[in-house]
Amino acid sequence: MQTTLRGVGVSHGVAIGEVRHMGTAVLEPPAKQIPTEEADREQGRARQAVEAVAADLIARGNLAGGEAQHVLEAQAMIAQDPELMADADRRIAVGSTAERAVYDAFSHYRELLAGAGEYMAGRVADLDDVRNRIVARLLGVPMPGVPDSDEPYVLIARDLAPADTALLDPALVLGFVTEEGGPTSHSAILARALGVPAVVALPGAGELAEGTVIAVDGSTGEIFVEPSAEKRAEMESAAAARKAALAGSSGPGATSDGHKVPLLANVGGPGDVPAAVEAGAEGVGLFRTEFLFLDDSAKAPSEEKQIASYRAVLEAFPEGRVVVRVLDAGADKPLDFLTPADEPNPALGVRGLRSLLEHPDVLRTQLTALAKAAEGLPVYLEVMAPMVADRIDAKAFADACREAGLQAKFGAMVEIPSAALRARSILQEVEFLSLGTNDLAQYAFAADRQVGAVSRLQDPWQPALLDLIAMSAEAASAEGKSCGVCGEAASDPLLACVLTGLGVTSLSMGAASIPYVRATLAKYTLAQCERAAAAARAADSAEEARVAAQAVLSGE
């Protein structure tokens, strides 16, 4: 008998197949003591395992490329964290085995993060995966992972670590479902990059029996267990229609009556550019420069290295618009040379622009590098600051841009509710706004963007979030300036229509989502989008908003 479950859809598409579960294993080593004279040998074993795991993660990243490469390189940095290694060394010195010391050091760090309510606590799947890989190597046992199968299947897991997600074979893994995670977790981001349908935050997903046939709708978050023949035919027909629409979609983003909505790509560096170009991106709406800085957390990259990386992206979009976000460090992206080590809650502390204003030399070097990278190129460079709270922040950033001789538009990201509430004031100092809906939702609802238990509050369809977006867009329109969205909300085709109706002037997303959004926008007029936006804002919940907007656009 068909039953329906609902999680959070994070990657478009439909997958129908048999359930296969991610392999699991108990990787907690026994707590036994070693003689003092064996401490040096055990410390050496621990270091060798750490370096081997870091090298493996980097190799996996090189194979995967793009967004996955950046994520896995960040995981390799976790493995090599000097504080974790020092903690393990101390535990070995008082009698722990290498594997037990590593296990306990990571567990202690994990508890500290969770207890402090840290922003990074939502990335425990990443932390646990690194720990398990090191411990498995020390124990000489295989890592649990993606199941072996000759037939395509739908993968079920508690959560998926980036190292597993990055190398999924879409020919075998039709889609995946996880019990934990959220719409902005690493596994969700990588699923979109791979084009694999995915649903996260589905309680009880692990209870689905091996071999059970399920149908996954990565757009709605619905899971149909043992779907009827009618339901399968309906979903397959919808998927075929969507594929046909995508194949016929090309050119600039626009509504059916010609209202232009530039569709831009989110990129982390030169490696993400080919996919963006292939998808027909009209430029870059979010160039995340922090990945360049994460290569070495001990010091900032040289001006020369920055120039080379920035120019490679700028050259790919002649006559196009490239919006660069200056370094967004802190919280889940700590840098030894920049981030305070003793903050009780880094998500609410010195991060983003606040860090850069405390280290003006880092900001100055980055702005100078951007200016030099753009010299002689026919590109429309725009530079924006993360975590702008008010007009004082906006002025400080604009002043820094001018002092660096940057010939570009200066903008501010709206990620803090105060920036949306006072958007018109901020626009007296900068020339555009860009809405980071992931963080804006986190701060508006006091809901960690990586914690599955509060994922309903991270749903970008929340009417209160739509109100903040509308407020920002209205302020920009009143000032004759632009207001884009570069958060994950822009990748939802239906929501893209609503955002257009709210007055958003451009949409930026992962490259894989661009064809879906382009094809959907082209089906409706601007007036229809505006009516859908009004209906969504009038709702009292995210689900009601989604249903109301869909009803308007479908003519019901």
Q: Which residues are catalytic, by number?
A: 186, 486
Query: Hey, is 199 helix, strand or coil?
Result: strand
Calculate the dihedral angle through the C-alpha atoms of 339, 343, 344, 348, rounding to the nearest 10 degrees: -70
Q: Cβ–Cβ contacts within 10 Å for residue 172, how many?
A: 17
Nearest-5° angle of CA 94, CA 99, CA 103? 90
- 529: its two tokens: 């989008």
DSSP 30: -
End-to-end, the C-alpha distance of the chain in Å comes to 30
Beta-carbon contacts of 553 under 8 Å, excluding residues fewer than 6 positions away, are 494, 497, 523, 524, 528, 529, 532
Q: In terms of DSSP H, where are the helices of 270-314?
A: 273-278, 290-293, 303-314
Tokens representing residue 29 in the block: 């080593």
Q: Contact, 46 vs 138, CB < 8 A?
A: yes
Torsions phi, psi of 35, nearest 5?
-65, 150
SS3 sequence of 463-512: HHHHHHHHHHHHHHHHCCCEEEECCHHHHCHHHHHHHHHHCCCEEEECHH
DSSP reduced 3-state for 282? coil
Per-residue tokens: 114: 């969770």
Contact between 201 and 178 (Cβ < 8 Å): yes
**Residue 324 contacts residue 285 (beta carbons within 8 Å):** no
**At 385, which helix (H) or strand (E)?**
strand 380-385
In the 8-state DSSP scheme, what is residue 211? T
Q: Count Cβ atoms below 10 Å from residue 384 Cβ, excluding itself.
A: 30
Token code pair at residue 2:
């068909």
- Radius of gyration (Cα) for the chain, nearest Å? 24
Strands 213-217 and 432-435: unpaired
Adjacency order of strands within the sheet including 198-200: 3-6, 222-225, 213-217, 14-21, 153-157, 173-178, 198-200, 8-11
Q: What is the DSSP string of 393-455?
A: HHHHHHHHHHHTT--SEEEEEE-SHHHHHTHHHHTTT-SEEEE-HHHHHHHHHT--TT-GGGG
Residue showing tokens 């900001």: 363
